A and B are shown apart, each in its own frame.
Chain A
Amino acid sequence: MFDRFTEVVSLVLGALAVAYLVYEIDRRQRKLHDLWDVLDGEDAILTNTLEDMVESGELVPYAGATLA
């Protein structure tokens, strides 16, 4: 009886540990995905805006050694 109880407790604790690990990995991955964004079709407008500014001459390559 006691053995069964400890078995159940161990299983529950093990499941909780795994669940926490999965949650933590997912949380960190989401943080990384927020930090490092991949540009794709959803960012087309953003990209085109910047590229248009370059092509029109509004933006020129920064040539200074340091920022002011």
Chain B
Amino acid sequence: MARSPRRPGSSRRETAEAGLPSSAAVREAGVSDPPIQTVPAPISGNEKPPAASRFRIFIVDSGWNSAARRVLLENFALIRDLQKEDPIYVLNRERSIEFMRRHGSRIGRDPIIAVHDMQALGKGGTTGFHGFRLSLGLLRTPHQALMGLQAFARFLVTHRQSADLEADIRANLRREGLMGAIEIAMHHEAREIGE
């Protein structure tokens, strides 16, 4: 069923989250890194994402102690700086686990970074193409995870004004079609994801 176009921005309430120890303190205590949690946003006026945001980025992470998760934790600040135009929503551990329980086939693929194309959602709702998702948890080594994250950031920045985002995703990320097969045969995609 198609959804009606969404209004940009919305009323929101602060999500109260308990303070968390730093990663260093947790490591000292011999505990694995804490799950990615939403940190209480410093209240500095009425912060709203830019009205012209093309994308909404969602990070779902239930807390697996994986290389991909560590890479995401370490590089999140840079990702955030590179995607200043788009709001990033981070689901806390509880919400992420609930999310995974509802969509069990995604378990083990997280951290998942879902990108909603607001332009596509506004035109056709959720019945057709409306975004893409990077299942970072499928990348097993830190090098692969880092390259996947870099490819993700690079794609978003370079295709922000794309008229046909779906075609760009299929050609450049998923390597579909004859050109994609050629690039795969020449190992371009392997170099890009660190294999």
Residues of A within 8 A of B (CB): 21, 25, 28-29, 31-41, 43-44, 46-51, 53-68
Contacts and interface: CB of A to CB of B under 8 A. Distances in A.
A39 B106 CA distance: 14
A36 B13 CA distance: 32
Interface in B13-48: 13-15, 20-23, 34, 36-39, 41-42, 44, 47
A66 to B, nearest CB: 5
B54 to A, nearest CB: 14
B22 A68 contact: yes
A36 B180 CA distance: 14
Contacts, number: 157
B93 to A, nearest CB: 11
Given A40-B129, A59-B15, A67 B36 contact: yes
A39 B131 contact: yes
B169 to A, nearest CB: 6
- Give 3 nearest A-B pairs by CB, closest first: A61-B87, A63-B41, A44-B126
Nearest to B39: A64
A37 B128 CA distance: 13
A49 B99 contact: yes
B99 A37 contact: no
Contact of A58 (B15, B173, B180, B189): B15
B39 A35 contact: no
A31 to B, nearest CB: 8
Nearest to B26: A68
B37 to A, nearest CB: 6
Interface of B: 1, 3, 6, 10-15, 20-23, 34, 36-39, 41-42, 44, 47, 49, 56, 58, 73, 76-77, 80, 87-91, 95, 99, 102-103, 114, 116, 121, 125-135, 138-139, 148, 166, 169-170, 173-176, 180-181, 184-185, 189-190, 193
Given A25-B185, A64-B41, A68-B39, A36 B6 contact: no
Given A60-B41, A62-B89, A39 B116 contact: yes
Contact of B169 (A38, A57, A66, A67): A38
Contact of B126 (A32, A37, A41, A67): A41
Contacts of B129: 38-40
Contacts of B1: 44
Nearest to A64: B39
